[in-house]
A and B are shown apart, each in its own frame.
Chain A
Amino acid sequence: MTLHAEIELVRGSFELGVEFDVPAGSVLAILGPNGSGKSSLLGSLSGLLRPRRATITFGGRELHGLAPHARAVGLLSQDPLLFPHLSAVDNVAFSPRSKGAGRAQAREIAHRWLAEVDAEGLADRKPSQLSGGQAQRVAIARALAGEPDLLLLDEPLAALDVDAAPAIRGLLRRVLAGNSTRATILVTHDPLDALALADHVLVMASGHAVERGPTREVLAAPRTAFTARIAGLNLITGTAVEDGLRTGDGRFVAGIPAKDTALGEPAVAVFAPSAVAVYPAEDGHPGSPRNTVVTAVTAVEPHGPIIRLRTEAGLSADLTPAAVADLGLEPGTPVRLSIKATAVAVYPIV
């Protein structure tokens, strides 16, 4: 079973044209800045928007001609949008009820899903009595309780505060991984969400796909300047250890592990090129950054107002043109990169 979608949409002067496949059991991240057409794309998939032309099939079933309620999609947006007049458990029971389950049966399903998202204790609360993170948990349970063929996640972590987001990200990772019959599409502007949740990524710019591929390949080695600018990340794979990660060749990378990182399990250390400081190789002062890498420059690429430096170690650094001139950087120049441990996040591998 695979979701196949070809969508063409016109809104005023904005044109969107994109086509992709999502096999059941996998997650496709659609990555792009605001205004790149991500939300219009989700609207077309859920049926809430009428595109000019759309072919959407899931395992041979044609979805594009159907009304939203008949498509078997689940939608989770950044606003939980729990029905304010229903308790948490009745919110979750809404979809089973709408699809024909009896009252008692729907409640039973709802309690099961609330337990699944660790929100069983919130069952009888009204949405106004829930925190943002709690409400998003209930909203996840509600979207999943309808057993959708297609799950659409629209920036599900964007509205959460920094304390709640990692827990919800971990929860999403768990519920997404435990399913093999559902296709999931995650729309986000945050490459970290894509990295944590998605198998594949599609990068969109002004209504069109500019790059696609396996998430880690695309994020670590963007082939287009656009992707590099919005989603380029330094990724180092290895094994999670106390306070960081150990690479296959025994190097230690100090970082902050995500909450659901298990020691000894495969993991990836992630940091933005902008978090990398560049020093001349012979400069002897290590300073406070725990991570230092001695390497040589392989490429100097301008990306709009910044210059991205690529190095032999496979890491990138973002600098201002003035800094590049000051340090006299060009391909072949030996440099020492340093990254503060607090700028490095360690995630389990999907």
Chain B
Amino acid sequence: MSAALFAVSGVLFVSALFVVAMFNRLVALNRRCDQAGSDIDVQVKQRFDLIPNLVEIVKGYAGHERGTLEAVMKARQATMAGGSPAAQAQSDAALGSALGRLFAVAEAYPDLKASTNFSDLQAELSDIENKIAASRRFLNSAVNEYNTTREQFPANTVASFFGFESRSNDVIASADRGRVEAAPAVRF
């Protein structure tokens, strides 16, 4: 009689440990997704801070290109407006294309291209874009790990009981896809 009691309580104890382990794992994965998102924000903020320097340098050499410069500053401002992730993605894509136009315009000014300040800034911005892309991919894999763990058995019972919700992937990819699928305007 006592042996059976012992066995049952042992099984219950081990199950409880398992539930605790799964809960903690889900919490940790959830937090990692948040952290990955914050890491992206750090990079985005860095890009935000660098852009005024770039605009100043270009203004010094190519003051006539005010239209392009203003477009960049406006796009920069729009990214800080916040909003839904989809809207963020759109404003981010807009900034990217505005910067691209600025660099294309800068090609026509040899003095500007020769300036080491300009080339350093260009390299830094390019580096930040790479870092942002890498951080986004990291966020995607973190979200994927969280969602997969959340849906697999037996963790899905724990997840539904404690209310762990599904997370969506980073939406920049989908916004960019829209840009890529539109035919690029090429002018000769």
Q: Do A and B bind each other?
A: no
* Chain A contact residues, CB within 8 Å of chain B: none
Residues of B within 8 A of A (CB): none
